[in-house]
Amino acid sequence: MTRTEAINALVEWLTIDEAILEKDDTSDYAEFIRRKDEAVRIALEALKDPLGAFIEEEVPFRLEEILEVPEERVTPEAVQACVDALNEDTDVMFSYDRLDEFLENTIAMYWGGKQND
């Protein structure tokens, strides 16, 4: 199966589940379907855009573990600002030294000053 075929199969699966949930949205099985579909949607997005999925996982890790940005500054909004900036300049992803500097600058601009203030 190719990646495109897998994407199409998952989309079809989600469509079938939507029809099931139209008839039953309160049972334990319906709750299982909703939880499974949430996982399938996340996997589907990663399958459609592997670099984007990697960026979304890598940014919080690098901010917290590598750059040691204080936890209170690694907010969902700050992470999203970094993700958006990386999506505009994906070339930086292929150089970890450059990536760290890029993230430091982006988080500093987001917070309007130095990252560890």
Mean pLDDT (the chain) is 89
Count of Cβ atoms closer than 10 Å to residue 49 Cβ:
13
Choose among 80, 78, 79, 72: nearest CA to 116.
72
Q: Measure the CA–CA gap between 104 and 87, rounded to whole angstroms.
A: 16
SS3 state of residue 44? helix
The pLDDT score that the predictor gives to residue 91 is 84
This prediction has a pTM of 0.65
pLDDT tens-place string over residues 52-79: 888 889 999 999 999 999 999 999 999 9
pLDDT tens-place string over residues 67-115: 999 999 999 999 999 999 998 887 888 887 899 999 999 999 998 865 4
Question: Of the ranges 8-12, 31-35, 49-53, which one carries the lowest mean pLDDT score?
Answer: 49-53
Q: Measure the CA–CA gap between 58 and 87, rounded to whole angstroms.
A: 13
Contact yes or no for 40/33 (Cβ under 8 A): no
